[in-house]
Structure 1
Amino acid sequence: MSAEGPPPSKVKKVDVSADPEDGRDYDVETQMALEEIDGCQNEIDALNEKASEEILKVEQKYNKLRKPFFEKRSNIIKKIPNFWVTAFVNHPQVSALLDEEEEECLHHMTQLEVEEFDDIKSGYRIKFHFSSNPYFSNTVLQKEFHLGSSDPKSESTKIDWKDKMNLAQNAKSRIEKFKQGRKRGLETKSFFLWFEDHEDPSQDDIAEVIKDDMWPNPLQYFLVPDIEVENGVEEEEDEDVAESVVVVEEEDEIEGEDEEGEDDEEGLEEEEDDGDDEDAAGEDE
């Protein structure tokens, strides 16, 4: 490049001074090193982007491979009464949303489905399947998340509530009564209010829990009560063993005391016999 040509491009000046108002220029050697680092970083970023594309392809491949197993699992789950409501109630985060009415409603839930879009980064949908119930006429309630754009959004099925059975409205009324002095996080604890909430789809913790934790392995949450029962039985057995040991020890002590008492009585009898013999000898003399 000729001396009369444009000056070489420089990276953005990096502020290394303690004072943020004090900018610094670098000597030629440092500037060249920084430009080389910037070039390396561009190569790394390009590889990271390529890796993301490859990972996406792998995820898409295995999503297709997992799908028939999820379908098989769903068909088996249908044979177990109240499977999903049990799993929901046992999940620490999901159960925090449920009031008594909503838990009762979820007894009519027959199936859960999570479907990721072909472009996984762009979003997913959650489907809740219901049998005929006294709360609403829908057979499927769906909440869908579109996260691929700079303006993420979500949308959900309009629930056709039956007369006087609107659980979302009931939850709102209940929350209004206790709203004063409470933080917002405590005000929205309702499953159906969550279902209808579209304020911040990119930060929907409950949806992510259902997608990434509940859906991959719901069995672990369904089995929680059985595990607790087994532990309870073991603890009761241990307590019974401990009590029996105490009883045995007490019985041993009582037997020991009885034996000592018998020995004392035998000693007294012997002493009395000796005394009688001495008295008899005195009379003879």
Structure 2
Amino acid sequence: MGTVERAGDDHTSEVESGEEEEIVGGGELAQHLMKSGVTRTDMLAAISNSIHAEAIAALPPNVRRRIRALRLLQREFVDIESKFYSEVHALECKYEKLYKPLFDKRAQIVNGIYEPTDEECVNPWRDENEEDELARAVQSAAITDGADDNNKPADDNNTAEPPMDPNVKGIPDFWYNIFRNVSMLCEMMQEHDEPILKCLQDIKVQMHDEPIGFTLEFHFAPNEYFTNTVLTKEYSMKCKPDDDSPLDFEGPEIYSCKGCEINWKKGKNVTVKTIKKKQKHKSRGSVRTVTKSVQADSFFNFFNPPTMPEDPNSTLASDIQALLTADFEIGHYIRERVVSRAVLLYTGEGLDDDDDDEYEEEHLTKRGVKGNTGRFSQGLRSVRNFIDLDGNCHVLRESKLYVVIEARFDMRCFLDVVWIKSGRFLECGLYLSVDF
């Protein structure tokens, strides 16, 4: 197991009589957490809480007493805030009915069912002449490249896509290209998923009022992979603070999800792969080959999430909890960003910086340029001005008071807490090292 070391003086403080608070030093806390087998994220959160708890415990008793009064006021605020979010959800359910005709027409245009009129294609806030000039320049460049390619030997590694038929209906591969552009979705998509996602015709959201929640509907054209026309993912939400930790309330949160069964056609299940394994008989020594089916990486595992326990108070394994947390984030993102801003994600106008980096890196890789094309995090860039960091170091957490940096050297992981005072970075007050 790893060793834990603490630099600097140990700080102890008296706790007011009657308070049941235990202040654990950063080094001791880290050692306890590592023995408990918690994740790195939980460890960082616990270290952060310990740092702040020590600072509060050092305050005079009367000040701590007033802080407890403020916590009670905060609880009253949370109760009002939960009612606010409940009314917001009711408004979302109401306005979903107003959005529906717009999203239905979008689906008709994308799938070639409806051809918009000239009046419906005018964007007065955009310079259409500039867009048309760019289109002509791209077409001219494509023609020039095509002429040059005729004089070059064939390249088996050429990944250029053939030009689109000008008379094509709708917007081909609309949702598939959104998946490619959005880094969160692109990371889930495997190569064997691509032909299926090219059959994706629409993504819809159905809001639920009581109990609150929503269902994502993925509508597919008939395809050679499964017989379903719609795949669903249902999310249940809660909008009330927990009795045990009411001040942690930050608004509605997803607490469970349920997928659907995919009726795969024979030999077309991309979520399963077959592996061959050799087994040796213990007594005879003979060897036989055993075929086994195991889960394969695929976007379509999204519809088969981990099973939630019936008891809401039961504790989930850390890996299951991590999977569910990621699943909840993806479901929320699809509902909030993908469905509502689909055209902007398709054109790239609505992409986040991380998505732009993903798109840029993919394009540069296709053009033969390899390496890290992403940006440094703002935290790392600011810390670099004061601390000698190399490629093995990166910032895990940054606040106005401290920065937590992870460094990896010789199979060891170091977590350094760098204190900030008057805009300057001071010497590390705590570090811990973990053996791998």
**Does the pair score TM above 0.5?**
yes
Mapped pair 1:194 → 2:318: no
| Alignment partner of 2:335 out of 211, 225, 242 | 211
Q: Tell me the CA shift for residue 133 of structure 1.
A: 1.5
Shift of 1:138: 0.9
Distance 2:23 2:260 in 1: 54
2:48 corresponding residue in structure 1: none
1:12 match: 19
* Residues 217-271 of structure 1 deviation map (CA, whole Å, 9 limit, x = unaligned): 111121139x99xxxxxxxxxxxxxxxxxxxxxxxxxxxxxxxxxxxxxxxxxxx
Q: Partners in 2 of 1:11 and 1:57 — Cα distance? A: 40
CA distance in 2, matches of 1:51, 1:34: 25
Task: Report the aligned-residue RMSD.
Answer: 3.7
**Which residue pairs with 2:190 in the alignment?**
99
SS at match of 1:93: helix
**1:139 and 2:232 aligned:** no
Structure 2 counterpart of 1:58:
88
The answer (yes or no) to whether the contact 2:203–2:219 under 8 Å persists in 1 is yes
Number of aligned residue pairs:
195
The one-letter amino acid of 2:95's match is L
Per the alignment, do residues 133 and 36 of structure 1 end up closer, same or farther by CA in structure 2, a change over 3 Å counting? same
**Letter of the 1:124 counterpart:** F
Q: Distance in 2 between matches of 1:156 and 1:17?
A: 42
Pick from 331, 347, 351 the counterpart of residue 223 of structure 1: 347
1:73 is matched with which residue? 103
How big is the shift at 1:109?
1.5
CA distance in 2, matches of 1:83, 1:117: 27
Asked if the contact 2:93–2:208 (Cα under 8 Å) also holds between the matched residues in 1, the reply is no
Tell me, in whole angstroms, the C-alpha distance in 2 between the residues paired with 1:33 and 1:221.
50
1:65-110 Cα shifts (integer Å, max 9, x gaps)? 2432244223323322432122122222212222333111122211
Unpaired runs of 5+ residues, structure 2, are 1-16, 29-59, 111-170, 243-253, 278-294, 307-319, 357-436
Shift of 1:173: 4.2
How far apart, in 2, do the equivalents of 1:137 and 1:92 lie?
Answer: 28
Higher strand share: 2
Show CA shifts across 1:33-79 (max 9, x none): 65454234212211222122113202321442243224422332332
Counterpart for residue 161 of structure 1? 264
Specify whether residues 47 and 103 from structure 1 end up closer, same or farther in structure 2 by C-alpha distance, changes over 3 A only. Answer: same
CA distance 1:104–1:42, change in 2 (3 Å): same
Q: Is the 8 A contact 2:207 2:213 kept in 1?
A: yes
Deviation at 1:131, TM superposition (A): 2.0
Determine whether 1:43 maps to 2:73. Answer: yes
Match of 1:126 in 2: 216
What are the Cα deviations for residues 100-135 of structure 1, in whole angstroms up to 9, with x where unaligned?
331111222111012343268x54321101122111
SS in 2 for 1:94: helix
Question: Using the alignment, how far apart are the partners of 1:154 and 1:18 within structure 2?
Answer: 38
Letter in 1 for 2:270: L
After TM superposition, give the deviation of residue 210 of structure 1 in Å. Answer: 1.6
User: How far off its partner does 1:162 sit?
Assistant: 1.1
SS at match of 1:127: strand
CA distance in 1, matches of 2:258, 2:78: 32
- What percent of counterpart residues are identical? 20
Q: Distance in 2 between matches of 1:135 and 1:211?
A: 25
Distance 1:31 1:99 in 2: 58
| Equivalent position of 2:204 in the other structure | 113
Hey, what's the Cα distance between the residues in 1 that align with 2:184 and 2:324?
17
One-letter amino acid of the counterpart of residue 19, structure 2: K
Quick one: distance in 1 between partners of 2:299 and 2:270? 9
For 1:161 and 1:16, the matched residues in 2 are separated by 55
User: Counterpart amino acid of 2:187?
Assistant: A
CA deviation map 1:181-235 (0-9, x unaligned): xxxxxx974211232232443331432332232122111121139x99xxxxxxx
- The amino acid across from 1:126 in the alignment is L
Structure of greater Rg? 1
TM-score when normalising by structure 2? 0.38
AA of the residue aligned to 1:136: F
Give unmatched runs, 5+ long, in structure 1: 1-9, 21-29, 177-186, 229-285
C-alpha distance in 1, partners of 2:215/2:96?
17
Distance 2:195 2:266 in 1: 17
Distance 1:97 1:17, change over 3 A: closer
The normalised TM-score by structure 1 is 0.56
Bigger fraction of residues in helix: 1
